[in-house]
Structure 1
């Protein structure tokens, strides 16, 4: 890569939104809560400290199908991109990331086994949903597609998304100016949705009831709902390994279980800045 293009190198720290986290007051009966302010900081990837945190978040992003991929190799590729993408942390750069966002160049990196495996998987999955036909066509044509990978801990506020996407655009523009191969024709965002399914436990055995076809989908990442409005293709797909994991393992202290699905959002590069602007307008905290 060219000279380091980082917020740290420029000496200008990025503004970090405060997140108010609710914590139970130990002196109460469990009904009273106190608010705790948390300052998030953005950093470039550092191979010395970010490998394990990124790998953990990748495993969460890919859900039950994570076992199909070489997560170590993918994590290595991500953390080696020091000037493309960001991590979000609390307290110190040496801590594991609470969130990350990056882009992989599927044309330039498609020859690497871990990326080739991911491309094959996404092409196969996009073939299972008619709405994703343009995605399958692009992936099979070796077009210059940037694959955006983004994940965060479940309780992270959505306000961290606008800076992540805005900084990514700035970094890609700087990379293109330096002659680096990031002049994409399309961006493909890999994410997840979920729907609720009835869940029961009988005699210690976990059972699940498949949701009806008309069951509504919900987004784990609120920005996905905004981004898909600018997409040329968007759709869900079923995980290969979903039948091997009981729905009750997804429960979060509720009577309803959660069934997760893969989500692909394809956006033309020319429309990507407008999509990110919309994310910033709708999700940024009030000034």
Structure 2
């Protein structure tokens, strides 16, 4: 890498937004039977000495059951090899595991490295299963400058952290380009997840009902994805290779409906990313 751009000397707190910075302390409503806890989020650069296990865990979560298809240790090492690109979000200081992360990898630049070989092949194969993703294989197989964006967070982390994560990522990419580093992308390819509600096989007797549930509305694990795909030149979901390892009954959580997860990709032209992030900000923080 070139000259290091560091943010760690002055860790960045979440912008002044009560939905992100803090959860309200104890509710004044006597009917509430739980307490709310104050939480301050901090932004840090990736640190290879601290963040290997947390990064590996969140990346595995991002790829869901198909995470087992890749060498996640090698992928985590690749992410950590570019500490000035991307961010971790933590609560109890730099020395703890991340609650969220975001980074971008140049697919063409790393195409000969093991984890990128595996993932780029996987992306091309999955894109070919969905006509809506037809634009993606040609870009990757043609060696175009595509930035692979990987963003994941623990389930209870508020979605309002997404806009500053994306904003800082674009700022860091811009600085890297000024330093003649290989981040001058033509497109960003965002990997994510969606899900559909399906009825548990324990309760289903009528297979027609089960089929109808599987064709239900698509939901987003990351609410910002619904906005980002409106700015995409291509987007769509795909079945996981290991989907049999993720049956509905194992994902039932306090409801009679299970969920079936899908991989999801969004391809955004680099020039349109700033407007896309601005739209995400307005959507998640409408009062600002």
| Residue 247 (structure 1) shift | 1.5
Does the CA-based 8 Å contact 2:197-2:214 persist in structure 1?
no
TM-score (norm 1): 0.90
Structure 2 alignment gaps of length 5 or more:
204-208
| Residue 210 (structure 1) shift | 5.2
Matched, 1:216 2:217: yes
Does the CA-based 8 Å contact 2:197-2:213 persist in structure 1?
no
- Can you list the C-alpha shifts for 1:83-142, whole angstroms capped at 9, x where unaligned? 000000001111100000000100101110110110000000000000000012212211
1:2-13 residue pairs with structure 2 within 5 A? 2-9=2-9, 11=10, 13=12
TM-score (norm 2): 0.90
Does the CA-based 8 Å contact 1:104-1:146 persist in structure 2?
yes
Does the CA-based 8 Å contact 1:123-1:139 persist in structure 2?
yes
* Matched pairs, number: 277
Aligned to 1:228: 229
Aligned to 2:206: none
Does the CA-based 8 Å contact 1:7-1:14 persist in structure 2?
no
Aligned to 2:271: 270
Matched, 1:20 2:19: no
Distance 2:26 2:236 in 1: 36
Aligned structure 1 segments of 4 or more residues deviating by more than 4 angstroms: 21-24, 208-213
Distance 1:285 1:88 in 2: 22
Q: CA distance change for structure 1 residues 12 and 88 in 2, over 3 Å: closer, same or farther? A: closer
Q: Secondary structure at the match of 2:200?
A: strand
Does the CA-based 8 Å contact 1:134-1:233 persist in structure 2?
yes
Distance 2:92 2:286 in 1: 21
Does the CA-based 8 Å contact 2:193-2:264 persist in structure 1?
yes
Root-mean-square deviation over aligned CA pairs: 2.2
Structure 1 alignment gaps of length 5 or more:
203-207
Does the CA-based 8 Å contact 2:234-2:266 persist in structure 1?
yes
1:100-119 residue pairs with structure 2 within 5 A? 100-119=101-120
Distance 1:85 1:73 in 2: 17
Distance 1:235 1:256 in 2: 23
Going by fraction, where is strand more abundant, 1 or 2? 1
Distance 2:192 2:137 in 1: 16
